[in-house]
Amino acid sequence: MIRIAIANQKGGVGKTTTAINLATALAATGFRVLLIDFDPQGNASTGLGVARGARGRSIYQVLSGDVALADAAIATNVPKLDIVTATQDLSAAEVELAAEADRSRRLSQALDSAEGRWDICLIDCPPSLGLLTLNALVAARYLIVPLQCEFFALEGMSQLLNTVELVRQRFNPSLSILGIALTMYDRRNRLSEQVAADVRDVVGNLVFDTAIPRNVRLSEAPSHGMPALIYDHRCPGSEAYIALARELIARLPAPAVAA
């Protein structure tokens, strides 16, 4: 199972939108995909139409060791896409796990136990660099960083890269950055263009060629409980996420693409 964390400690940069729509595009390609909602806000769960009342077993119980990951996963309306939901109580995990020796490996261990059930696992991280995001980075082989095309885009990037380096040294030497995805790109706005150019200057070939445009359809879809790719599969946002998924697959090692 290829494990990919989607993280950026900056809030509202498009992590969840990217997680939901990439997961959908990958499932449509034939992969068995698991999306882990790893944010107490539960936005990925809501966006995939799992109402709060329907989140019986969530990632919180998995981290606590009460439920196996495979038993917490539920099918979504998207064929081949399952989700492990998140609820508000996940925010308590940061505190509750603090004293446990294996606190940073809980998610990794849970995923080990479900090896073989899915081809790809995407982890939608919360907007912080706390214990939850640490668990995701320790569990993941790859990291995708959504970066919003606005003035402060690069601020915080060095902190994130430092964290990745620390995780590599102390916990997970195989963690690598699969790519940086530019989000909310507006080609009529010169700032967007300038930011995209600056980011490409600084982090070069890590940046995916596909920039996700600012597109109202992407922001409407979650309120209907479905991925934009199903809500309106021909809108520019959906087309961009399909292109991004194609790039993502091309960056994975060859055997992964056999699905």
Among ligand ATP, Mg ion, none, residue 40 binds (CB under 5-8 Å by kind): none
**Footprint on residues 108-167 left by Mg ion (CB under 5 A):** none
Please report, as ranges, the residues that interact with ligand ATP according to CB under 6 A: 11-17, 39, 41, 43, 127, 183-184, 212, 214-215, 218-219, 222, 237
Binding of residue 16 to Mg ion (CB under 5 A): yes
For the bound state, the minimum distance from the C-beta of residue 13 to ligand ATP, rounded and expressed in Å, comes to: 4
Applying CB under 5 A, which part among 35-43, 71-79, 146-154, 181-189 lies near Mg ion?
35-43
Q: What whole-number distance in Å separates Cα of residue 221 and Cα of residue 223?
A: 6
Size of the site for Mg ion (CB under 5 A): 3
118 vs 33: CA distance, rounded Å: 6
CB of 99 to ligand ATP, least distance (A): 27
Least Å from the CB of residue 102 to Mg ion: 26
**34 vs 114, beta carbon nearer ligand ATP:** 34
Residue 10, interface with Mg ion (CB under 5 A)? Answer: no
Query: Which parts of 78-198 are beta strand (E)?
Result: 81-84, 120-124, 142-148, 176-183
In terms of C-beta distances under 8 Å and separation of at least 24 residues, what long-range contacts does 197-200 make, across chains too? 198/153, 198/154, 199/147, 199/153, 199/154
- Two tokens, residue 156: 């915080």
Binder of Mg ion out of 18, 43, 87, 192 (CB under 5 A): 43
In the bound complex, what is the minimum distance in angstroms from residue 216's beta carbon to ligand ATP?
Answer: 6
Question: In the complex with ligand ATP, which residue's Cβ is closer, 64 or 127?
Answer: 127
Report whether 86 contacts 59 (CB < 8 A): yes
Nearest to 72 by CA among 54, 49, 94: 54
Determine the Cα–Cα distance for residues 203 and 220; give it in Å rounded to an integer: 31
The partner in contact with residue 219, picked from Mg ion, ligand ATP, none with C-beta cut-offs of 5 to 8 angstroms by kind, is ligand ATP
Please give the DSSP secondary-structure letter assigned to residue 52. G
CA distances from 200 to 4, 190, 207 (A): 22, 15, 6
Instruction: Between 94 and 119, name the residue whose CB sits nearer to ligand ATP.
Output: 94
Closer residue to ligand ATP in complex, CB, 67/157: 157
Cβ–Cβ < 8 Å for 72, 66: no
In the complex, minimum distance from the CB of residue 42 to ligand ATP, in angstroms, rounded to a whole number:
10
